[in-house]
Structure 1
């Protein structure tokens, strides 16, 4: 009887194990069967430093201070959500070390404030107020800081130019004199603007200091003047654009549709087609994003919907032109509080992975170091979780993109070549589920596992050790764990980079 019971238990165990195996998803990785899709720019992962940060001005109030700042301010509407920030110190060692950790990169200095900025092209004391038709002032010293910063961090400078009334003569005709001034000065100090949009977000011209009633015909005529001037004065600078935003996702405030921008004669044409994308607006501006939505398929895949609209526009007006996303973040209006926490690292990396597979050549995150959506804390410049996600992407994900297939629901996979190696691949796997799973890998690898004790924390660990800067403001060494072929555990709500040398 005793042995009969044991046999029965063994039989039951056998069927239970097989039942478990049948119910467990088979997350198999086969590197040899992954089809090559294409390449992205070597500076695929890039970032913005807003013109407002460079010169100082009104930017988004941190959430904990919104109520207190409102009580002492007479501002109304969206302006009541902003406060005065001082110019960023682009010579700070810590800031430069962190930015260099993401190089090579593009550094885009633009934003709404760039649309009405006056470049004071002399070394005299800063003017007390800008000339008529402008709203703010960019000094030589500030712009030299931008150029020096780009050189120090292996960044190529991307920018845009003013469009406000100050750019026109007494007859209202657009004049590129300010464009010439900033290009000449940049060249005189050994710098170069690698690429530039005509101005920031023409789709929302009335919100961006364009003349009253500005329309698509105005854009076409003035862009033609701008392009003709640049082709002679700065032929090395790529003319990119239009840098529109919102259509199909956040159309609120739209002045000029993409069709109205690109249809009039003389037909605008760009070397690179650019667009901006925000999946929603932050709670500052009435948005309703919640942590519960932040890991859903609908949210993580929404970036593809934003791309689809502008990709179709590109195909219609500029077939085969490269496409860049020159401004993006967790949400518009400075980001939600969750943008500064671990939970947004999934959105950040999924966006890079998904867009690389769709052929987007460059993705420029907004911002490096300001507001909740910044990669760094705005005061201390301490890295946020998204910075560490960006740092690991930059360290391991090369510019060759492969079709990796799919794993179980809620577990996404992206594969690139192993960066700076003649062979090998990097596999990025994100488990958005609240339960662990397993991955079957075909050969030995190195593991870099990002985890956190909770989703809304700013503290993240790599292979169980908390990531942080060294005492001398240097970046830490990144060491992987050697793992053997076969089954690998992927914890709940974790991010894993696996590097394969062959």
Structure 2
């Protein structure tokens, strides 16, 4: 079967190969040491608060996907989440700081979000009724979701000037809500404080010293409510765009052990209306710019808050609901998977995609609930890439990007390779750094031993190489009909579509002789699993 597929792939690709550049090279993975570690549930997705009349660029792509009115009984939704076997879901977004919880001694009227000219982001305050909170938690339990909930960090404050808000956070409403949550036995993995209030903010901002003071109060509330509990939710903050001075001051003001997770947001592709979105996605220099933020946050955490870890709390690539006909198509997976790979290398524990559903950047279509291409990219990452990050090097073109992790739930290593070039067909030899070192150290060897050494050098088995035919597993991702803006992803030549019963299709690899070169076609992505890779860092 594998031979038949390989012959079909070769014959089908002959015309394309003659029309393309061919580049040969090597990818070397070092399995001897851990570069970083992610959380077991690294892939995360957001359910936002935006109502159906949230519009950008004369488009209203949110439909009925809000926390308030998302159809939780839609069969596609539950099955899409369950396919992850524990998807981390963040409940949050721009309007979360204006949400009132209809519980306890709430003295303010509790009404749905409505358009309001002078309101923050053009909307009034909104209301979360406990009946809806009960429905959401039943859904989370049924689907096995891990929940991060973003609290209303502007409650009780007042606007001082322009976007600056001051005064202490009024924690009473949030405390009553959290108390209700605990009393019902609802499992919350983490509580997040505020949305995009750091630095100069988006719509509103709060000074770091005030924010730190409020976090001390929230930590006290969490400790009291979960006293004696077997598991205590983490405290995540600030959930905003990275501002070095502000983030440092927040850690210094809040102090040791208050914040568990420093979360930040990234929209490194710019506005959703930008006509250059696709060219940015396919530009390695543009993608590399994100490393500055990841690296700086890692540095300040080590220096000022080593008790915390980093999350990307929200990232949709393009802001203002994403890019129509871009964020929901195949081409966006080049950005998305590159972000997952880069973030993990910089000690990011969790990466929350904006959104699970809603806007143009949803993993699921906002009206049909059918998965968009990025859904399958995230699912394959979740299933194949373990939490241990390995170093990988290649001297190929910058348009070929590669990341390596220990495989998830099994021995070996999984390699992610992304070809951003529209012209170059990369043919790569995968190498194990252990074998390269052994080969370099061997001197004065006979012809026979030289042959054996060479065999080991190009084998993923490591020092335990044998003459037996060993197989690797390959998952090649391409767009349907070669159209980059296709909403259908193709896996090893098969379009990924829901089954007749609405189930997620099987994501099956092709098996290839481990000693053969890896071929990465132009504008394609591949996950390569090496079950017999010798990697001491993988345990």
- Shorter-chain TM-score: what band? 0.7 to 0.9
Question: Which residue does the alignment assign to 2:184?
Answer: 189
Aligned pairs for 1:124-163 (under 5 A) are: 129=111, 135-163=125-153
Asked if structure 1 preserves the Cα contact closer than 8 Å seen for 2:42 and 2:382, the reply is no
Q: 1:351 to 1:428 in 2, by over 3 A?
A: same
The SS at the match of 1:438 is strand
The SS at the match of 1:306 is helix
The SS at the match of 2:475 is strand
Asked if structure 2 preserves the Cα contact closer than 8 Å seen for 1:167 and 1:176, the reply is no
Distance 1:36 1:230 in 2: 33
Question: Which residue does the alignment assign to 2:11?
Answer: none
Asked if structure 2 preserves the Cα contact closer than 8 Å seen for 1:326 and 1:364, the reply is yes
1:237 aligned onto 2:237: no
Matching residue within 280, 305, 328 for 1:293: 280
Q: 1:446 to 1:183 in 2, by over 3 A?
A: same
1:501 aligned onto 2:531: yes
TM-score, scaled relative to structure 1: 0.80
Question: Which residue does the alignment assign to 2:38?
Answer: 40
Distance 1:413 1:231 in 2: 42
Q: 1:33 to 1:332 in 2, by over 3 A?
A: same
1:91 aligned onto 2:76: no
Matching residue within 312, 334, 340 for 2:299: 312
Aligned pairs for 1:353-368 (under 5 A) are: 353-368=341-356
Q: 1:264 to 1:437 in 2, by over 3 A?
A: closer
Asked if structure 2 preserves the Cα contact closer than 8 Å seen for 1:223 and 1:268, the reply is no
1:102 aligned onto 2:132: no
Asked if structure 1 preserves the Cα contact closer than 8 Å seen for 2:474 and 2:528, the reply is yes
Report how far residue 167 of structure 1 moved: 7.2
Question: Which residue does the alignment assign to 1:381?
Answer: 369
- The range that moved more, 367-376 or 184-193, is 184-193
1:449 aligned onto 2:466: no
Report how far residue 487 of structure 1 moved: 2.1
Aligned pairs for 1:321-470 (under 5 A) are: 321-337=308-324, 338-409=326-397, 410-421=399-410, 423-435=411-423, 436-441=425-430, 442=459, 444-452=471-479, 453-470=482-499
How many residues align structurally?
Answer: 445
Distance 1:201 1:267 in 2: 23
> Which 5+ residue runs of structure 2 have no aligned equivalent?
1-17, 114-119, 159-166, 431-458, 460-469, 533-539
Matching residue within 197, 212, 216 for 1:220: 212
Report how far residue 482 of structure 1 moved: 1.3
Distance 2:26 2:112 in 1: 62
Asked if structure 1 preserves the Cα contact closer than 8 Å seen for 2:96 and 2:150, the reply is yes
The SS at the match of 2:213 is helix
Q: Which fold has the larger relative contact order, with Cα–Cα distance below 8 Å and residues 6 or more apart in sequence?
A: 2
Distance 1:130 1:379 in 2: 21
Write out per-residue CA displacement over residues 248-306 of structure 1, whole angstroms, 9 at most, x where no aligned residue. 8xxxxxxx93345445477894112221111143244xx46332222111222232122
Question: Which residue does the alignment assign to 2:519?
Answer: 489
TM-score, scaled relative to structure 2: 0.75
Asked if structure 1 preserves the Cα contact closer than 8 Å seen for 2:48 and 2:92, the reply is yes
1:258 aligned onto 2:288: no
Distance 1:266 1:486 in 2: 54
Matching residue within 48, 51, 65 for 2:49: 51
Distance 2:518 2:187 in 1: 47
> Which 5+ residue runs of structure 1 have no aligned equivalent?
1-19, 70-80, 249-255
Report how far residue 463 of structure 1 moved: 0.6
Distance 2:202 2:516 in 1: 55
1:278 aligned onto 2:241: no
Asked if structure 2 preserves the Cα contact closer than 8 Å seen for 1:58 and 1:85, the reply is no
Distance 1:82 1:354 in 2: 29
Report how far residue 97 of structure 1 moved: 0.8
Distance 1:276 1:191 in 2: 27
Note the aligned Cα RMSD (angstroms): 3.2
